Structure 1
């Protein structure tokens, strides 16, 4: 089984590395180029024109690897469904931006509707085809709490929240790709430890795809993943947590995305209620940029934090299962 995990990781990594130049060239010909927000950091203006929608590279590598290794696994198929569904929403958003040559693609409401539909379909499949347990495991314990029908509401909110949190994290070169690779590796270990051996291949393939993409996305980025990638990665991470029955553990393993999302919520709430900005800019990675940190330093520190949280999550699972 270890060989399958290594092969799944290696195949997606090699595909992403090999297809990178082709994807960059095609995105340029399609005029899929980044448009920086006027209210964004001034240092980011130089990034305007960089090819975006690079998430198609991640998804291609992921799908091929998953189809090569144990393509009939139901959990893996369901994870692919959620990942590709969110990728399609992001692809539509990025496509509109490219065709209209503007920073706005789908409206926030339109994106949410798409995310709601994907989450609802995922919950329906869980209930009808998997007869999925409606329990929540409490990290640090052996407790499994039965919450009945409310489980599906929890999963619904979790999917929408995670996809948006990863989308917010995708703001610096390599930040989302690197951190998602780290979290995916953590879920390889977690899936194996909990007995979801076949599903671990999906996690390994995602890690390889993210690392392959990172080769072209590290600073200075040759292409960005766009919403095609960030929404898809959020869907994938939510699927990893749900399908390994470690839903609450994602708060720890994906602690970086939680902090990024909370920084936006805190900033917006504070400004609307008190007229005061808590951070110089949100999400929080921009706050550190405007505080004088280089982009590379911010990304390196945030990767390190993500790695620490991933290790903590692994230790929690291993200590509970032994």
Structure 2
């Protein structure tokens, strides 16, 4: 068995090392590249897409060759392929095609989600169903919820890998460790074929990492990240030690880091009022790269994923189901406690809970005068409190029912969210809700850029409400110079930081040499 795993890894690694340069050359030739922009994609030059094609072909070919070698030797160690394998690879090929279309034509979020659901429905309809969930040694039967829960799990897996694919080598590093962990669990459960495929996928990703490490020359693209996420999600179900219809805690623990990142993104967008499809630079890789640099970020991610994976494997080895959950809790707790990631989301949840409790405890006769107020710097160092304090004072003086600001300045990695409102809000028929976009002028290109939104709610009991709206507009005009000044300071700090990092990479101090910023590997989404 060990020889087959080694064979699978060597074959997939070798094929990836050959295929990736070819795919990269072809992608550049036909213009299938990820182009930088001024707001979110901050890499300095176009980078080839399509890395997922090379990874998928290398992993699939190595799987087929390993099975042929096993049959040729007459051992049949891997057994015979069940129909579910054919369906899985068909679905994976379809997911790859959807990802390629998205990479080239940029599908809308809902269009991509619909295609993902259809592909996943094919897999679930073929018999890959989570009948029960293993939690701390107990099994929870899902009954009629088995189908939707399985679809939801695979959707989460697909998009979790897709969301963390935003920095050079990030998704690739995490996926390698996850595949190795799932391969070990498959071996422990006697699923030889699963193990060979999982290790083979890890080998293909390892070969791809040689070209995807900072500074990357090719990206997985949505085609790669979604396909790998689908395969990993299915392997997590199939790798259960007990039976392939149980989603155990160990496989989930192995995927803890990407799952935490995607969960935090959903919480962050939901509690700030943004669309779930909105993009920002508040993901795990963005914050870790800002704190530790591109290579430091990869090291931290590798340590985090390895920690949860090792503890998950140990929990199965020693039959201690609680160990996987406890390990995940500790790892995620360290991230939040050190404010490396998740602290802003924790504060958003805490703030929402405290406001709910205060509102619930407020007596009816004092509800008109009671106010709820939260302000949360999500990321960055801009002095947004100074702007917000003036808006709150304005709201109090003009008897507004609510004022909310949400800033999402992706190109500066700045985020700020604050809400001030009365406990008792006006009835729906007697309130005016206005959402005003906020803008600034980028110093880098002189273009106007959206930085967030200001929402106001005013009692609409007479025509004086129109005067309040006009007053709000005038107040925003008054605040524009202050907002622009904050942006200028932030852009200056960012420029100085990049030059310092570039100079350090060249072995010189910032005083000795001003290095070009295009030498700095940066995240691409």
Smaller-chain TM-score bracket: 0.7 to 0.9
Residue 231 of structure 1: how far off its partner (Å): 0.4
62-71 vs 223-232, greater mean Cα deviation: 62-71
Provide the C-alpha distance between the structure 1 equivalents of 2:160 and 2:296, rounded to a whole number of angstroms: 21
Alignment partner, residue 127 of structure 2: 126
Given candidates 165, 168, 186, the residue that maps to 1:170 is 165
1:13 aligns with 2:7: no
Residue 18 of structure 1: how far off its partner (Å): 1.7
1:157 aligns with 2:152: yes
SS of residue in 1 equivalent to 2:140: strand
SS of residue in 1 equivalent to 2:67: coil
Alignment partner, residue 99 of structure 1: none
Change (3 A) 1:35 1:263: farther
Aligned length: 298
Residue 35 of structure 1: how far off its partner (Å): 2.1
Residue 85 of structure 1: how far off its partner (Å): 2.8
Residue 136 of structure 1: how far off its partner (Å): 2.6
Q: How does 1:61-210 map to 2 (within 5 A)?
A: 61-70=58-67, 72-74=80-82, 75-96=84-105, 105-126=106-127, 134-138=131-135, 140-141=136-137, 143-210=138-205
Alignment partner, residue 212 of structure 2: 217
Provide the C-alpha distance between the structure 2 equivalents of 1:135 and 1:213, rounded to a whole number of angstroms: 35
Provide the C-alpha distance between the structure 2 equivalents of 1:90 and 1:304, rounded to a whole number of angstroms: 29
Mind listing any 5+ residue stretches in structure 2 that lack a counterpart?
69-79, 275-279, 322-525
Provide the C-alpha distance between the structure 2 equivalents of 1:300 and 1:224, rounded to a whole number of angstroms: 19
Residue 321 of structure 1: how far off its partner (Å): 9.1
Alignment partner, residue 303 of structure 1: 302
Residue 82 of structure 1: how far off its partner (Å): 3.8
Q: Higher relative contact order at CA 8 Å, sep ≥6: structure 1 or structure 2?
A: 1
Provide the C-alpha distance between the structure 1 equivalents of 2:196 and 2:208, rounded to a whole number of angstroms: 18
Change (3 A) 1:134 1:317: same
Change (3 A) 1:122 1:28: same
Higher helix fraction (1 or 2): 1
Provide the C-alpha distance between the structure 1 equivalents of 2:261 and 2:91, rounded to a whole number of angstroms: 22
Superposition CA RMSD, Å:
2.2
Higher strand fraction (1 or 2): 2
Contact residue 136 and residue 147 of structure 1 kept, 8 A: yes
Residue 89 of structure 1: how far off its partner (Å): 1.4
Given candidates 216, 233, 249, the residue that maps to 2:228 is 233
Contact residue 119 and residue 156 of structure 1 kept, 8 A: yes
206-215 vs 262-271, greater mean Cα deviation: 262-271
Provide the C-alpha distance between the structure 2 equivalents of 1:210 and 1:296, rounded to a whole number of angstroms: 17
Q: What CA deviation, in whole Å up to 9, does each residue of 1:178-214 have, x standing for no partner?
A: 1101100011110010111122111011111110110
- TM-score, length-normalised on structure 1? 0.86
Provide the C-alpha distance between the structure 2 equivalents of 1:263 and 1:133, rounded to a whole number of angstroms: 24
